[in-house]
Structure 1
């Protein structure tokens, strides 16, 4: 079967052929109504470590559900690059990342690879992995096996209104996710995608997830955080974007249009 990934923070997560969700007990109607009111798609929502996971890899807390929606919601086309209303501010800025000691060497190497890919762009954000102290983004693990034929690979979220990146990326350490011997380039691609969410990127096919995930066309919605077109990105399908909702469970990095989007914002 095809697997879902990227985060959004899918279902899952961030960089698989299919982002997959873990099936679970029913989500209360009142919660689904709040999620829909914010503009997120309320299908396939799952409970996740006390929060809610939507769009495969986007994590929403109870507090998030009670926030007023933020516009604008600008629909130009379905496959361009999109950002949230909030971005990381105070640039040029160094973003520190720490990998939890409980994660294996493949996750550390994957983080270093993702960091190197961002830093090679020469944008106004510089990423540095640290081993002590408090980081801007902490990468931790969770262990959750498949359920109902699906599995979650990773999750993250969007920048705060104060201009800070989302502080957490969670990676699934269950062997059914990345395997017992994780491929570093695949891990790096998932982390790279989740960092994209942390600094304000929506899925590039957020207005029609079927482009990368297949199946029935699904519009992720504004999510209360904005779906704002990034000027200079294409109106035609962009099959290799690092921010597609789903990919091939392999290595995916920035294409030319991703670089345009990153340079425009940062």
Structure 2
């Protein structure tokens, strides 16, 4: 998830898959040393594209890559890239899923928080409660350690474009297991020195959405939630003459295809508020799970 802070204008705009999958924030004019852009090889860029993601503004984290603001791709993910991408008919806007979903339903996924302040554990419990309140065939349970999803912290400042990553996660495996990790940025520029529990809840809720197969609602134009520097279309294979010609995403029946859902919890960027599921989000999750 992303967040963008325009300090010079005194305006705060947050980019999360709800305005955040890594959530980032833009600190233009901040007196911080910006993290330099990642230079990736042509081979890696092509593999990212073949998986249906944008190869623009890719960031390296260890041996992994973060794409589209908050989505973690591992070397194993890249090795799964085909030489050509499947082209699917997808929504022009609105909720959509990845190719991989969590299998073996009904199922309970355990979630644990490791080495983070209490407010993060509280926010995680709140996010889990929000999912469980939907009575899906996919349920979540908090455990003290070793969860199917483990939430940890990382400390990373502002990048060269003025964005800061709020959190990151990934997508389910081909075998049908949820992505097993969520990272939350503990840098003070991300959430401040006293993080708001509601805001943290919404970011964790968003990242959990990626872990079970949800992509960004506004993939066709990230500027809608992230502002003019939000990154435009997710994926260089996006065809502006045919907005539904896009790989890696499948429209969920029952959700809109012609309107921008400004309240979705899976928008690419966050408004900096406590945003939870809206009516269309609930339709999407109930259809899938």
SS in 2 for 1:65: helix
Partner of 2:113: 99
Number of matched residues? 259
Q: CA deviation at 1:146?
A: 1.7
1:117 aligns with 2:127: no
CA distance 1:126–1:77, change in 2 (3 Å)? closer
Partner of 2:264: 241
1:37 aligns with 2:50: yes
1:189 aligns with 2:202: yes
CA distance 1:126–1:202, change in 2 (3 Å)? same
Does the 8 Å CA contact 1:86/1:225 hold for their aligned counterparts? no
Partner of 1:230: 252
Q: CA deviation at 1:54?
A: 0.3
1:147 aligns with 2:169: no
Partner of 1:85: 99
Choose which of 8, 12, 16 in structure 2 pairs with 1:5.
16
Question: Which of the pair is proportionally richer in strand?
Answer: 2
CA distance in 2, matches of 1:22, 1:178: 18
Aligned-pair Cα RMSD in Å: 2.5
CA distance 1:190–1:24, change in 2 (3 Å)? same
CA distance in 2, matches of 1:229, 1:182: 34
Q: Deviations over 1:166-218 (max 9, x none)?
A: 00000011111111111001000000000000000010111221221222772
Q: CA deviation at 1:84?
A: 0.8
Counterparts of 1:54-69 in structure 2, within 5 Å, are 54-69=67-82
Partner of 2:282: 259
Unaligned runs of 5+ in 2: 1-5, 7-12, 28-33, 239-245
Does the 8 Å CA contact 2:47/2:81 hold for their aligned counterparts? no
Does the 8 Å CA contact 1:83/1:201 hold for their aligned counterparts? yes
Q: Deviations over 1:25-44 (max 9, x none)?
A: 42233322322233211110
Q: Which shifted more, 173-182 or 212-221?
A: 212-221
Q: CA deviation at 1:109?
A: 0.7
Q: Which shifted more, 224-233 or 66-75?
A: 66-75
Partner of 2:228: 215
Q: Which shifted more, 256-265 or 59-68?
A: 59-68
Unaligned runs of 5+ in 1: none
1:250 aligns with 2:273: yes
CA distance 1:225–1:67, change in 2 (3 Å)? farther
TM-score (norm 2): 0.82
SS in 2 for 1:226: coil
Does the 8 Å CA contact 1:17/1:249 hold for their aligned counterparts? no
CA distance 1:17–1:129, change in 2 (3 Å)? farther
1:28 aligns with 2:51: no
Does the 8 Å CA contact 1:79/1:238 hold for their aligned counterparts? yes
